[in-house]
Amino acid sequence: MPDQFGEKQHEPTQHRRDQARQRGQVARSSDLSSALLLLAGLTALWLWFAELFHRLAELTVGHLSQPRLKLDAPAALAWWQENLGQLAAVLAPMMVLMVVVGLVVGVMQTGGFLFVPQRVLPDWNRVNPLAGLRRIFSLAGLAHLGFGVFKVAVVGAVGVVSLYQKRDEILALWQLEVPTWGWYLADVLFWTTLKIAIALLLLAVLDYAFQRWRHEQELRMTTQELREEMRELLGDPQIIARRRQVQRQLVLNRISSAVPQADVTVTNPTELAISLKYDPERMDAPVVVAKGAGYMAQRIRQLSLEHGVPVVERKELAQALYKQVEINQPVPPELYKPVAEVLRYVYQLQGKPLPGTEEHPGQSQAA
């Protein structure tokens, strides 16, 4: 079996997640949005119910108390224009609250605002009956159907239990006046709906968790997909390896020609190696002609030993030179003293006079 059809054993990369997001493929649950909108609507109704009820009652009483009602179209239009502003003033806060909740829930699920124009373009697969049937009778479609049936059962159970607990009060309503009936039934319906909304919210949270898990599973990658993505982002691994090999060879060639001309190599002791050269007639300060870490440090040390360049172990100086000085750059003033001590030590070991002086190394003390 080709590798691209193999097991998706690798976690999705951030690049794959970003590509899926650009296509509009994000983990979201419509049930979560619906449940939170239902709770927002109930909250708005609880906050503005009294004002809405009194406003509607005033409008109803005012129009029913007229001596004669006109039911023709001009009268209905005039009534609508007259009372539209009053109804809008009462309903606007409720609508605004629900719109804000809907936007916030959508943004939270998608991780920010998501605009995907291609999702609204015509797509034959969306209206293809065969594709629709395959989606309906697929494993995901059957799972969605089963979850929908389960939600209906939960809603029915919560409603039945809530109303059953109020059965005695409901059966005794015939003894009360009609306005009391309305207030009591409105109260029962409100709290029953609130319980149903909370149950739906709990189910929606589970559905959202499932959608996130399924989304992650769909984004998982096979080994071949991971390789192709790395090749797309970084280029062909063989070309990259070849380029790195050429670069390393160029560095080695430069080191091979620079180290034999150095006066001293400072090490740390095997992790870092820095070769220094000093010519007082042409240089104001010693210059770093080669430096390296790890394998390069071992190569510099090996070349130094092969060509008779003294190797001096100075841990702190090696670290400072490696961090502060680039190749073909002079040593900074704050390192003049330790570098001078190393050079003096080397020249004394070799029995040479110090650069720029006629002093014999035997006339001074070793560093």
Task: With respect to residue 116, please indicate whether it lies within any of the assigned structural domains.
Answer: no
For residues 308 and 163, membership in a common domain is answered with no
CA–CA dist 29, 141 (Å, integer): 15
pLDDT at 185 over 70: yes
Task: With respect to residue 118, please indicate whether it lies within any of the assigned structural domains.
Answer: no
Rounded to an integer, the average pLDDT of 59-77 is 68
Q: With cut-offs at 50, 70 and 90, classify the pLDDT of residue 350.
A: confident
* Token pair for 336: 């003049």
Rounded to an integer, the average pLDDT of 308-331 is 90
For residues 205 and 250, membership in a common domain is answered with no
Residue 291's SS3 state is strand
Q: Which of 246, 241, 278 is nearest to 261 (CA)?
A: 278
What burial letters (b/e) apply to 80-119, b meaning 16+ CB within 10 Å? eeeeeeeeeeeeeebeebbeebeeebeeebeeeeeeeeee
Mean pLDDT of the chain: 78
Range of the domain at 38: 25-108+133-209
CB-based burial label for 271 (10 Å; 0-12, 13-18, 19+): middle
Largest Cα–Cα distance in the chain? 131
pLDDT recorded at residue 127 = 61
Rounded to an integer, the average pLDDT of 64-72 is 63
For residues 144 and 49, membership in a common domain is answered with yes
Amino acid at 37: L
For residues 186 and 52, membership in a common domain is answered with yes
Q: Tens of pLDDT along 186-218?
A: 788 888 888 999 998 998 888 888 888 888 888
For residues 43 and 160, membership in a common domain is answered with yes
Pick the range with the lowest mean pLDDT from 6-15, 88-97, 164-173, 235-244: 235-244
Q: Tens of pLDDT along 146-165?
A: 888 888 898 889 988 988 88
For residues 256 and 325, membership in a common domain is answered with yes
Rounded to an integer, the average pLDDT of 222-247 is 72
Task: With respect to residue 145, please indicate whether it lies within any of the assigned structural domains.
Answer: yes
pLDDT at 362 over 60: no
pLDDT recorded at residue 275 = 92
Task: With respect to residue 99, please indicate whether it lies within any of the assigned structural domains.
Answer: yes
Task: With respect to residue 231, please indicate whether it lies within any of the assigned structural domains.
Answer: no
CB-based burial label for 12 (10 Å; 0-12, 13-18, 19+): buried
CB 259 within 8 A of CB 265: yes
CATH code (residue 309): 3.40.1690.10
Rounded to an integer, the average pLDDT of 112-136 is 61
Q: How many domains does the chain have?
A: 2
pLDDT at 357 over 60: no
Task: With respect to residue 202, please indicate whether it lies within any of the assigned structural domains.
Answer: yes
Amino acid at 323: K
Which residues, 6+ apart, have CB-to-CB distance to 317 below 8 Å? 266, 335, 338, 339, 342
For residues 355 and 297, membership in a common domain is answered with yes
For residues 195 and 256, membership in a common domain is answered with no
* Token pair for 260: 């034999």
- Identify which has the larger pLDDT, 185 or 181: 185
CB 306 within 8 A of CB 315: no
pLDDT recorded at residue 274 = 92
Distances (CA, A) of 214 to 27, 114, 147, 314: 8, 20, 15, 58
Domain boundary among 182, 209, 236: 209
Domain boundary among 190, 209, 228: 209
pLDDT recorded at residue 237 = 65
CB 156 within 8 A of CB 200: no
Domain boundary among 209, 231, 254: 209
Task: With respect to residue 229, please indicate whether it lies within any of the assigned structural domains.
Answer: no
* Token pair for 7: 């097991």
pLDDT at 4 over 60: no
Q: With cut-offs at 50, 70 and 90, classify the pLDDT of residue 3.
A: very low
pLDDT recorded at residue 346 = 87
For residues 103 and 251, membership in a common domain is answered with no
For residues 200 and 63, membership in a common domain is answered with yes
For residues 89 and 149, membership in a common domain is answered with yes
pLDDT recorded at residue 233 = 67
Chain position carrying tokens 């060879």? 249
Local structure of residue 271 (DSSP, 8 states)? S
Rounded to an integer, the average pLDDT of 77-93 is 75
pLDDT recorded at residue 208 = 87
Q: Which of 99, 122, 1, 81 is nearest to 41 (CA)?
A: 99
* Token pair for 206: 């589970």
Amino acid at 68: R
Q: With cut-offs at 50, 70 and 90, classify the pLDDT of residue 115.
A: low
Task: With respect to residue 232, please indicate whether it lies within any of the assigned structural domains.
Answer: no
Torsion of CA 244, 246, 247, 251, to 10 degrees: 130
pLDDT at 86 over 60: yes
Give the strand pairing for 272-277 and 264-267. Answer: antiparallel
CA–CA dist 130, 145 (Å, integer): 18
Q: Tens of pLDDT along 246-305?
A: 777 777 788 888 888 898 999 987 789 999 998 888 888 899 999 988 888 888 889 888
Rounded to an integer, the average pLDDT of 333-345 is 90
For residues 196 and 251, membership in a common domain is answered with no
